[in-house]
Amino acid sequence: MRIVPIINRNGESLSNSAMAGWDDLPAELRSLVLSFAIAAAQKRPKAHHLSSYAAVCKEWQHVVEPVNFGSLKLTASDLTDFDALVVGPRRRWLKYVWFRVELPKYPKKKSHTPETEEEQDENDRVFSHKIASLFEVLSTWPEEDSSGIELELSARSPSDTQALAGAAGLTEDGESRYFDSHLDFAFLDTGWFGSHGLVEVYVVTKLSILRRCWRNLEPRAILTIVSSLPRLREVRYEPFQQFDDGSQEIIDMDRARELPFWPSTLQRISFFEHFDPINEETESNEEDDDFEDEDGSEQGDINETEPRTCIALAMSFARRSIQLEELAVSFMIDARHFFQPFFEARLPASKPELPFWSSLRWLTLTSSAIHYDEEADRLDAVFLAAGRAAKRMPQLRVMELYNVCKHSAGVFRYMVTEGISGTPSIGWEGTWQYDMGERVKRVWGEVAWANVSKALVVRPEEVMKYEGMFKFIHNNLATRELVLHWVSSTELLGKKEPLPVPRLSLR
C-alpha cells in the first residue's frame, strides 16, 4: 500500500508532529466530509442535529444553512422564531414549508363520537386564526426574496390517531369524528384583532394538501386559500373518499362549482382521492378463483368497487384543463365523462363546438371501464374518444388512462419519448390481456402525425402479476410524479422501500 502524505492548500506536506486542521485539508476532502455529514443528518435527523453543524465554522455555515433552511416543519407556535430567523439569503434557500394546524384536544372517550356543533365552531376558529397568522408572516416577504415556496397544509388534533383516521374510525352507526367534520374559515368569529380574511402571499407558488392531513377541508376553504396566492402555479390535493354517497356527492358538487374560480395562474393540478383502508397483501386475480364481481357498481368492498364519481366535477375539470399544462385526477372523476363530447354518438357536426387544449402536455385520468371483467369493445370506446380529444392537444407528450382496485390494474399510455427525436407510442400494461382494436391504433396514429409528424409505434402489451394498488401506480405509471406527491409515495411504500426511478420527471 502506498502512503500518500496529506497536502495542505499551500502544497506543503504535513509532518506527523503537525496536527492537520480543517483549513489544511484539500478542498475536495473538505467537501466530501461535509457531504457525508449532511447526508447522515438527513438520514437520521433524531440522532444528528443538522442545525448544530452550521456553528462549526463559516465554511460549514455556508454549506449547511441552504440545506437546513431548504425545508421547514412549522406550527403556529413557531411563527415568531420563523419570522425572526428566516431573513436575508435564508429566504431564497427555503423551498418547502409544512405548516401543521393543531386543533384542540379532546378526551379519548370521544374518539368515536361525532363533533358537536360547538366543537366544530371552535376548530374552525382555530384553523382560521392559525392559517391567517402564517399568511400574515409570509405576506411581508417581497416577491424577489424567493424563487417560490411549496406550502403543505395539514390539520389534526393531538388527540387524533392514524388508526382511527378514515373508515377505521367509523362506528356501527356509520358515525366518525373525522368524516363528519369539515374545516372552514370562520372570520366572523375571530374577533376584532388581526386581518379580516387572508392577506395575499406572493412567495408561495405551490400548494399541497396530502393524505397526512387527516381532517377534511371544505372546498370553499381551499378556494379561499388559493385565491390568496397570486403566483400559484401548482395545486396537489389528496383527500380521502367519503364513506357515504350523500356526503361525497355534496363535496363533489361544491368542488365542481368552485373549481372555475381558482386562480388563472395555475399550470398544474393533481387530485388523488385515497381509499381507506388499502390492503396491499393481495393475490393476483389468476389465483383468486373464488372472487366474483357480480356488479361493478355495488359498494361492497371499497377497494374493488366502481368509484363514486361526479359527472359535473368531470366537466368542470375538463373545462379547467384547457388552461393547464399538466392535469391528473384519480378516482374522483371518470375519463368517460371528461371525454364525453368525443364519443361517436356525441360528436358535434362542427369542430368549433369542441374544446381545444393549446398548452396541455401531461394528462392522467382514471376510469372504472378499465376493468378485467369489461369487454374489450368498451375499453376501445374510451381510448377512441381519448384519441379524438388528443388531436386537439398539440403539445401533448403523455396521456395515461388507468384503473387500480383490489384484484386488478391496467393502464393505457400514449407517450412521446423525450428529446428532439422523440418517438410517439401507445401501449397497454395490465394484469389481464387486452387486445387493442385497430380503430384505436388508427386514431392514435393520426394523433402522432398531427402533433409530432412521426409514425406511431404500437408497443407489445405487457401482462403482469398484480402486487397491489400502490406498487402498480409507482412501478407502472409513467406520470407517477404527477399522480402522487413524493411525500405520499414515501408514506405509502414505507421508508425501507426506495421509490422506483420515474419514467418521466416533472420539470
pLDDT in tens, 479-498: 999 999 999 999 888 776 78
**pLDDT at residue 285, as a whole number:** 34
**pLDDT at residue 448, as a whole number:** 97
Measured N-to-C along each axis, helices 486-493 and 469-476 cross at an angle, to the nearest 10 degrees, of 130
Helix (H) or strand (E) run with residue 384 in it: helix 376-390
Q: Residue 235: which pLDDT band, with cuts at 50, 70 and 90?
A: very high
Q: Residue 290: which pLDDT band, with cuts at 50, 70 and 90?
A: very low
Please say if the pLDDT value at position 193 is more than 80: no
Please say if the pLDDT value at position 300 is more than 50: no
Q: Residue 243: which pLDDT band, with cuts at 50, 70 and 90?
A: confident
DSSP character for 162?
A: G
pTM: 0.84
Query: Could you check whether the bond before residue 260 is cis, i.e. omega within 30 degrees of 0?
Result: no
Please say if the pLDDT value at position 194 is more than 70: no
Bridge pairing between strands 204-209 and 216-217: unpaired
Q: pLDDT tens across 342-399, in order?
A: 997 667 666 678 999 999 999 999 999 999 999 999 999 999 999 999 999 999 999 9
**pLDDT at residue 25, as a whole number:** 58
Residue 475 CA from chain centroid, whole number:
16
Checking 241-246 for CB contacts under 8 A at 24+ apart, the result is 241/273, 241/274, 241/275, 241/276, 241/302, 241/307, 241/308, 241/331, 242/179, 243/167, 243/170, 243/174, 243/176, 243/179, 244/174, 245/299, 245/308
Compute the average pLDDT of residues 430-456.
Answer: 96
Q: Residue 322: which pLDDT band, with cuts at 50, 70 and 90?
A: very high
**pLDDT at residue 50, as a whole number:** 55
**pLDDT at residue 433, as a whole number:** 95
Q: Within 10 A of 214 (CB to CB), how many other CB atoms are there?
A: 20
d(Cα 379, Cα 370) in Å, to the nearest integer? 6
Q: Residue 202: which pLDDT band, with cuts at 50, 70 and 90?
A: very high
**pLDDT at residue 293, as a whole number:** 32
Most confident of 58-67, 191-200, 279-288: 191-200
Q: Are 74 and 99 in contact (CB under 8 A)?
A: yes
Q: pLDDT tens across 58-107, in order?
A: 555 555 666 677 889 999 999 999 999 898 888 998 999 999 999 999 99
Cα three-residue angle 58-96-62, rounded to 5 degrees: 10
User: Looking at the chain, how many residues does it have?
Assistant: 507
**DSSP bridge partners of 207:** 151, 235
CA neighbor of 470 nearest in space, from 217, 252, 276, 235:
276
Query: How far, in Å, are 39, 54, 97, 228, 257 from residue 69 at the CA level?
Result: 15, 11, 10, 24, 38
The more confidently predicted of residues 10 and 342 is 342
Q: Are 212 and 491 in contact (CB under 8 A)?
A: yes
d(Cα 366, Cα 414) in Å, to the nearest integer? 14
Cell 397544509 belongs to residue: 153
Cα three-residue angle 300-303-304, rounded to 5 degrees: 65
- Of the candidate ranges 112-116, 163-167, 239-243, 462-466, the one whose mean pLDDT is the lowest: 163-167
